[in-house]
Amino acid sequence: MHKNIYCMFVFCLSLWSLSGVLGVYEVKSVTEGESVRLNSDLTEIQRDEEMTWKFNNIMIAKLKDSKSRFYEDNAEGRFRDRLKLDQTGSLIITNTRITDSGEYTVIGTSTDSTLNIFRLTVYAPVPVPVITRDSSQNSSSSSSSSNCSLLCSVVNVSDVTLSWYKGNSLLSSISVSDLSRSLSLHLECLDDFYSCVVNNPIRNQTQHLNTELCQTCSEDFIHCCGSTEAVIRLALSALVGVAAVAMLVYDIISQSLQQEQTSLSN
């Protein structure tokens, strides 16, 4: 019984191998405009092998007798003058575009076996985000924190994340899938530790907050820095005042004691 199961396993494994599913699946990511190399991983012995490259199961290139041939019309001309095969059969794509994202397969023609499979993702360049005053919020006088409402914006982007940070701590975040999005932030107190970050899986851009954006806040300190910060500062001021009074009382009592001791000694 066990022998039959073992024989069946070996038979199925042989069929799987002969079917050509031998390639290694590899994920690659680049920024639009960069070049990318998809390796065939052929050894010295295998370099005489004829091979075919496919994009989403459409033939785009072939290496035969050390001569390259490209089938640009098969992929609607999207790779025109941007493909290159080196002596090992590795595929090089120059000046990559978003539309180049997809699955690339290299197949050994003589054995009809898959040598490698690539999942390529081409991301749009990540712009530097822009921080501005949120005019829609700042125009309202009903909110005490409106004068410190800021807006971080990005345009011409897709599939990125837009986030506000204070130091290394994440305050808020949204996923951006359209071409123009913004993320607002209501601050309690301004300092140099706030920043806005836009990123995709391979790139990020950071814009640090310019505190001058909120220097024109209301004259009322609470309006600019928020009630929490104001309470803390007022409490500290009160403690300093109490300490000063205590020191003054201590000096008065010490002087009185000294005068009494002087009178008694005379």
CA–CA–CA angle 93, 94, 96 (5° rounding): 85
Q: At 103, is the pLDDT very low, low, confident or very high (cuts 50, 70, 90)?
A: very high
Mean pLDDT (whole number) for 72-90: 86
Using CA atoms in the order 171, 176, 179, 184, what is the torsion angle rounded to 10 degrees?
-20
pLDDT higher than 90, residue 27: yes
Residue 54 has pLDDT above 80, yes or no: yes
Looking at the predicted structure, is the pLDDT value of residue 93 above 90? yes
pLDDT of residue 178: 64
User: Rounded to whole angstroms, how far apart are CA atoms 122 and 96?
Assistant: 7
How confident is the model at residue 13, as a pLDDT? 44
Which residue in this structure is represented by tokens 């530790």? 193
CB-CB neighbours of 146 under 10 Å: 18
User: According to the model, what pLDDT value does residue 9 have?
Assistant: 45
Which class in CATH covers the domain with range 130-214? mainly beta
pTM of whole model > 0.75?
A: no
pLDDT score recorded for residue 29:
95
Question: What confidence score (pLDDT) does residue 224 get?
Answer: 43
User: Which sequence spans correspond to the domains of the chain?
Assistant: 17-123, 130-214
Query: Is residue 3 scored above 60 in pLDDT?
Result: no
Predicted confidence (pLDDT) per residue in 239-263, tens digit: 666 676 677 766 777 767 666 666 6
Kindly compute the dihedral angle of the four CA atoms of residues 80, 81, 85, 87, in this order, to the nearest 10 degrees. 160
* Whether pLDDT at 133 is above 50: yes
Over 50: is that where the pLDDT of 143 sits?
no
* DSSP letters spanning 7-58: HHHHHHHHHHHHTT--PEEEEEEEETT--EEE-----TGGGG--EEEEETTE
Question: Whole-number mean pLDDT of the chain?
Answer: 74
Equal CATH topology for 17-123 and 130-214: yes
pLDDT classification of 45: cutoffs 50, 70, 90: very low
pLDDT tens for residues 183-238? 776 665 566 688 999 999 999 999 998 777 665 334 443 344 444 444 555 566 66
pLDDT band at 46 (very low <50, low <70, confident <90, very high): low
**Which residues are CB-neighbours of 168 under 8 A, at least 6 positions away?**
none
User: Which structure tokens are listed for 80?
Assistant: 């025109």
pLDDT value, residue 101 = 95
- CATH code for the part of the protein at 17-123: 2.60.40.10
- Per-residue pLDDT at 121: 95
pLDDT of residue 241: 67
